[in-house]
């Protein structure tokens, strides 16, 4: 049941949090590791009650929490799913997270959901639609949301602007913040031959509310370079370098280590967080 103790959100500190997955919940609740914040998928709390909410409320008592949605399909040419939006509003009202985020993608059309983060063409039409849907989302939730750039394996040749320009316009026109996934920037730079540094340099520092880091895997034998945003490895050295550049550029921001497949021991995630923390401390732009 909702606890009134949980109403006030603890702010997300400018430290390195960890994406909390079911396999690590027991460890976290028993040992209360020194993690600045945890992030959970919003849809994991779409259930009305039960153990997932029990766990959430225990975590929420001791840690700031951000909720990261994966299923709203903001870029769908269809209207937003009213049931999904309503449930998200209820979850956010009950959970009172410090941050709420979603993705710059689509995932459903004609009532069929693909439960994946599918790429948009970077066109005025897609931009206008995304802005409209973000307006609806922010109005419904009565708060700003952060929108994450996604990795992609497809580039549409009729895109009329680069991805970074699309993101910048999205933030400017809708008032949303950006969740800058540095791994996704790197993955897309390899997959589509774009300049990752130029991408980061074009991002408005003030728009960035959070940074994500994760590991990728390489898909071989397709005739060209392809990285998959698999969240099943340590952060790649090239992504660490890009992260260092990113925080030098946008300043120290709350950063999250994501790992979803072939989940390692929690200590590995803590070690990744330690490395990111060292980068944050070294960030000249805004010392932590």
Contact 145, 83 (CB under 8 A): no
Report the residue number, 13 or 225, with the smaller CB distance to another protein.
225
Applying CB under 8 A, among 43, 148, 163, 210 the residue interacting with another protein is 43
Residue 237, interface with another protein (CB under 8 A)? Answer: no
Segment (H or E) for 166? helix 163-174
The terminus-to-terminus CA distance of the chain in angstroms comes to 37
Q: How far is CA 262 from the centre of its chain?
A: 19
Task: Compute the least distance from the CB of residue 25 to another protein, in Å.
Answer: 12
Is 173 a residue that touches another protein (CB under 8 A)?
no
Which is nearer to another protein, 223 or 237 (by Cβ)? 223
Residues numbered 193-212 forming contacts with another protein, rule: CB under 8 A: 193
Q: How far apart are the C-alpha atoms of 189 and 130, rounded to whole Å?
A: 23
71, 43 in Cβ contact below 8 A? Answer: yes
DSSP state of 236: P
Does position 122 interact with another protein (CB under 8 A)? The reply is no
Give every CB contact of residue 83 below 8 A, 6+ residues apart in sequence. none
Instruction: Say what the alpha-carbon torsion angle 40, 165, 123, 178 is, to the nearest 10 degrees.
Output: 20
Question: CA-to-CA distance for 164 and 85, rounded, in angstroms?
Answer: 27
Could you give the maximum distance between any two Cα atoms of the chain, in Å?
56
**188 lies in the site for another protein, by CB under 8 A:** no
Contact pick of 58, 89, 121, 138 for another protein (by CB under 8 A) = 121
Question: Which of 3-11, 66-74, 93-101, 277-285 is the region at the interface with another protein (rule: CB under 8 A)?
Answer: 66-74
Residue 9 C-beta: closest distance to another protein, Å: 22
DSSP 232: -
Give the CA angle between residues 49, 136, 63 to the nearest 5°: 45
* Least distance between another protein and beta carbon 1 (Å): 5
Binding mask 247-286 for another protein (x = CB under 8 A): ----------------------------------------
Least Å from the CB of residue 240 to another protein: 25
- Binding footprint of another protein, residue count (CB under 8 A): 55
Does the protein bind another protein through residue 232 (CB under 8 A)? no
Q: Binding residue for another protein (CB under 8 A) from 37, 38, 53, 243?
A: 53
Report the alpha-carbon angle 141-256-219, nearest 5.
110
Interface with another protein, residue 226, by CB under 8 A: yes
Binding site for another protein (CB under 8 A): 1, 43, 46-54, 70-73, 76-77, 81, 83-84, 87, 106-116, 118, 120-121, 123, 125-126, 129, 153-158, 191-193, 219, 222-226, 228
């Amino acid at each position: 049941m909702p606890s009134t103790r949980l109403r006030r959100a603890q702010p997300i500190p400018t430290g390195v949090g960890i994406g909390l997955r079911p396999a690590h919940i027991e460890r976290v609740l028993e040992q209360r590791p020194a993690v600045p914040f945890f992030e959970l998928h919003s849809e994991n709390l779409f259930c009305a009650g039960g153990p997932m909410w029990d766990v959430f409320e225990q975590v929420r008592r001791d840690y700031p929490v951000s909720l990261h949605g994966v299923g709203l399909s903001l870029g769908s040419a269809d209207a937003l799913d009213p049931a999904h939006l309503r449930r998200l509003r209820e979850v956010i009202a009950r959970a009172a997270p410090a941050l709420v985020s979603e993705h710059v993608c689509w995932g459903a059309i004609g009532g069929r959901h693909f439960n994946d983060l599918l790429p948009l063409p970077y066109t005025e039409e897609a931009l206008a639609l995304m802005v409209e849907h973000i307006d609806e989302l922010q109005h419904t939730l009565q708060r700003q949301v952060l929108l994450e750039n996604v990795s992609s394996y497809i580039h549409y040749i009729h895109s009329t602007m680069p991805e970074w320009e699309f993101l910048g316009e999205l933030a400017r026109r809708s008032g949303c913040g950006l969740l800058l996934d540095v791994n996704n920037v790197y993955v897309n730079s390899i997959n589509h031959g774009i300049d990752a540094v130029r991408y980061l340099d074009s991002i408005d520092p003030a728009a960035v509310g959070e940074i994500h880091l994760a590991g990728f895997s390489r898909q071989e034998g397709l005739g060209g370079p392809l990285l998959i945003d698999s969240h099943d490895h340590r952060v790649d050295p090239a992504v660490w370098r890009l992260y260092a550049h990113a925080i030098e550029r946008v300043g120290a921001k709350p950063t999250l280590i994501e790992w979803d497949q072939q989940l390692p021991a929690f200590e590995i995630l803590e070690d990744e967080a330690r490395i990111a923390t060292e980068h944050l401390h070294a960030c000249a732009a805004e010392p932590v």
